[in-house]
Chain A
Amino acid sequence: MEILWILAIPLIGGLLLALFGCQRFAPELNSAMSFGTFLASAFLTVRVITDGPMTALNEQFFVDSFNVFLVALTAFVAFTTSLFSRPYMRIEQHHGKLSINMLRLYHSMYQLFTFTMLLALLTNNLGIMWVAMEAATLTTVLLVSLYRTPASLEAAWKYFILCGVGIAQALFGTILVYFAAEKVLGAGGTALLWTHLDVVKTQLEPTVLSLAFVFLLVGYGTKVGLAPLHNWLPDAHAEGPTPVSAVLSGLLLNVALYAVVRSKVLVDGALGSHLAGNLMMGFGLLSVVMAAFFLSRQKDVKRMFAYSSIEHMGLMTFAFGMGGPVATFAGMLHMTVHSLTKSAIFFAVGHAAQQTGTQLMERIRGLIKTSPTIGWGLAIGTLAILGMPPFGVFASEFMIITTAMHSYPWTTPFLLAALGVAFAAIFGRMQTMVFGETTEQPLPHPPALVPVFVHLGLVLLLGLYIPPYLADWYRQAAALIG
């Protein structure tokens, strides 16, 4: 029942906002709908804590320990981002960058995007998961080009074509999985249901599944932003409105990785070898190293943090690729804390860019003088994402690197060098942006920075103490993923 609510609220929200998006209360309605989704996901979480995993509606939807925390996280970040977007979009409108019709499109698509993300997480059907991932691209492509500047149109086109082609590969992978599953489960309804596939995964044809995994990894990997398929990601993050950057980094990348990991479970079962893990480790390591070096050459603040997202997604892919209880646990923890931290950073960066009227880092100065909350938000967020203790990112990175040292020692120098380069680049840039002298004026609307500190508070909390049920989910999911 809760599952239905979680999906129905954003869908209705999208339709309502398409109708009433021109009204003055549209941003509030957007937040209210997102809050409703969040409440529904909270009820679902409580249900899962008491009753355990479940399926719904003829097994079309399911919740287990792997997707429950992602559902809660997605609904939560979507809600806080909608709070942030309220003053942010008002200021953009005040600056004359957006018309009222663009805002209507934005609000409606925002809700529909949330819907596609939650559908991709909750559906039990691999085909529907693909449909939802493709729909996520479709809902966000017009948001990336919202400002109609030449650069934003180029970014949106690149995003559409690259992700479209990528996701077509994933469809081919899904067809191959269905082809293998149909031999065991019979044609028709159940052969694409993940819970059924999981039961018979050892009987699936290994050659077909290994080919399918290559297509699925390349396809969904494009959306995760894995190198060398990452080209769309920095452009889409830098040119779209900041709330969109925040949800792309915080939600879309996670959900795409979720799709890859779900496929990995089936392939591992069918092959009984470490092929899927090795492929993921390779792509992951390449992304971490490549992103770290591109990161140090960036001039645009949102581009820099977009590359940081590629780096962290690479690290998670690497962790899931290594497998084993500790690395998988760390991968899931990293998914959680990265999503919270990165969206918090984008909130702070968004307001900073509005205040100074530029995204170029060399022209952003002295944030702490004009608006201490933006300055501190950015400073603390940066420290958190760089993996400083006692934040949660430190805990997950520590676990990933110690496992790598233990199981794959040759990867350690690459990982440490990449993390070091990223640290030096981001930390140096952050200092000049936060401190220093400035003559900028404060913003016309007070910025909403409560979400920043709530997110960072949660990341700090997860670094010090992980609630027992969350740790249980991570452990159970790690046992499932292997």
Chain B
Amino acid sequence: MENFYGQLINLFAALLLLIAFGMLSQRRVLSLINLFAMQGLVLSVSTMFVAYTSHQHHLYYSAALTLVLKVLILPWILHRLIRKLNVKWDVETLINIPTTMLVGIALVVFAFNLAAPISLMAGTITKSSLGIAMASVLLSFLMMITRSKAVPQVIGFLAMENGLFFAATSATYGMPMVVELGIALDVLVGMFILGIFFFQIRETFDSLDLKHMEKLKED
């Protein structure tokens, strides 16, 4: 039975990675937000399974927190924002998508190698998913680098936080509750501040394209 749940959690980890690749290849902002919400859902469900198998009750709270924050509140704020800002156009990437995917695969291999010695030490049921967590952090990072518009960059930032959260549950059964609450608060406040910030950028530049923001350079 233990083994069955282990397999199930691994399945969710694989889904997480798949969604990370999906985000990397997605051109439309709306679909990007939906993918982000889906990633949150996978994260929440897998946390719930970890909580059930390991009898760590505080993980149920984390799973609930993830569900509320990352599946409901953040996507809702993002949807509202893009409706108000009226940005539904396609996302331009700086490097073309097939190249990005290839770089992404290389990153995954790198992440698995980096995580291998640590995974050996993890006593948790989910130890093999540490590599996946690290890979999804790096993939989100790649997504931030390759996107030139503000909203996708922020989604990349939030997806990176998802990866980190998954690393925390998979390697250690979650951080102490007070820390997790603090992190959730930071993410939420950060989202509000970014919302204000988007409007400021739009007001000043008439667009959310970051290509306008390359004036400050050393000459």
Contacts and interface: CB of A to CB of B under 8 A. Distances in A.
Given A150-B204, A151-B215, A157 B189 contact: no
Given A145-B197, A172-B167, A165 B216 contact: no
Contacts of B118: 176, 179, 207-208, 211
Contact of A179 (B122, B176, B186): B122
A344 to B, nearest CB: 26
B136 to A, nearest CB: 12
A178 B175 contact: yes
Interface residues of B, number: 49
A178 B168 CA distance: 9
Nearest to A191: B176
A155 B216 CA distance: 8
Interface string B172-199: 1101101100110110011001101100
A315 B189 CA distance: 34
Interface in A117-155: 125, 127-128, 130-131, 134-135, 138, 141-142, 145, 148-151, 153-155
A141 B175 contact: no
Q: Specify which of B150, B173, B179 lies most central, judged by the most chain A CB atoms within 10 Å of its CB.
A: B179
A66 to B, nearest CB: 22
Given A158-B216, A161-B157, A192-B175, A141 B141 contact: no
Contacts of A453: none
Q: Specify which of A127, A141, A156, A211 lies most central, judged by the most chain B CB atoms within 10 Å of its CB.
A: A127
Interface stretch (A9-17, A44-52, A181-189, A407-415): A181-189
A385 to B, nearest CB: 21
Interface in B125-180: 134, 137, 141, 144, 150, 153, 157, 160-161, 164, 167-168, 171-173, 175-176, 178-179
A480 interface: no
Contacts of A294: 218
Contact of A141 (B56, B122, B193): B193
A153 B178 CA distance: 33
A172 B214 CA distance: 30
B172 A164 contact: no
A191 B173 CA distance: 13
A175 B175 contact: yes
Contact of B212 (A150, A161, A183, A208): A150
A135 B193 CA distance: 11
A138 B178 contact: no
Given A135-B189, A155-B216, A125 B197 contact: no
B141 A165 contact: yes
A171 interface: yes
A92 interface: no
Interface of B: 56, 114, 117-118, 121-123, 134, 137, 141, 144, 150, 153, 157, 160-161, 164, 167-168, 171-173, 175-176, 178-179, 182-183, 185-186, 189-190, 193-194, 196-197, 200-201, 203-205, 210, 212-216, 218-219
20 contacts: A127-B183, A131-B183, A138-B190, A150-B205, A150-B212, A150-B215, A153-B197, A153-B201, A154-B213, A158-B213, A161-B157, A175-B167, A175-B171, A178-B168, A179-B118, A187-B173, A188-B176, A192-B176, A207-B117, A297-B218
